[in-house]
Amino acid sequence: MKVLANDGISQSGIDALEKGGFEVITTTVAQEQLINYINEKDITVLLVRSATTVRKDLIDACPGLKIIGRGGVGMDNIDVEYAREKGLSVINTPAASSHSVAELVFGHFYGLARFLHNSNRDMPLEGDQNFKGLKKAYAKGTELKGKTLGVLGFGRIGQATAKVALGAGMKVVAFDPFLEKANLELEFFDGQTVNFEIETISKEEVLKQADFISLHVPAQDNYVIDEAEFNIMKDGVIIANAARGGVVNEVALVKALESGKVSRAALDVFEKEPKPEIQLLMNPALSLTPHTGAATNEAQDRIGTELAEQIISILG
């Protein structure tokens, strides 16, 4: 049986699939040519990330497909329910990239807390001429230790982010409409573990208490953070969105940055991806990455291996 990994797959995933008796094709096929390619090559499994979409037309036109797999968490580029109604298995890897996203969030938080996103721009331009001026400009950093992290969405990625926060000495408060509490186990290099039980509280309380806020919610119809939510927050809060574009109202965010309600913010995802608004790209209070939350070598290895295990268990 043939597997088309149209948006790529790690070597560990290829090795596991080939060991399980599958032929793995890593050719990237253009979206408009995908239906013909799948049928001509007799593809049984289609694996995608975020670049390829799998809609009803493809599902209807490719009767030989048995599995659609998404390397990652969100499956908004796949018509999941329709595929399952047609008898296809739809799989993803929700746990594989959790820690990678959590580390990216904290990369942003540490950078924002100490103005690294600005000083890394300014030092090459004027570090030799204005060293003392830059030192003064960026001398009012803040520490994360002892501060409160508010997590909106306390699933796998939210919990992974909370673990990093706890390791950094932060207090964690969390909101999740589907979860009352979670037990977090922190694992250390020498085999020791420490357990924390976090009980979720209301969204309003999280917004009131948090010095730092991180969003880990799925794509939805309405903004999770809009003008009303910004008004509840502490003055000078720092926010990160590495979840989905459209869960934060970017216009309201810019206003909150201008007023000082939000001191600085990080965005890994955007409402108008892959062409973010220019006022975001040029805003000095924003730390920006191009949707790379899950993009670590370790996460890609885990994604490939997990997909392979699921495919083999379904078709093996």
Catalytic residue set: 244, 273, 291
Burial of 37 (0-12, 13-18, 19+ CB in 10 A): middle
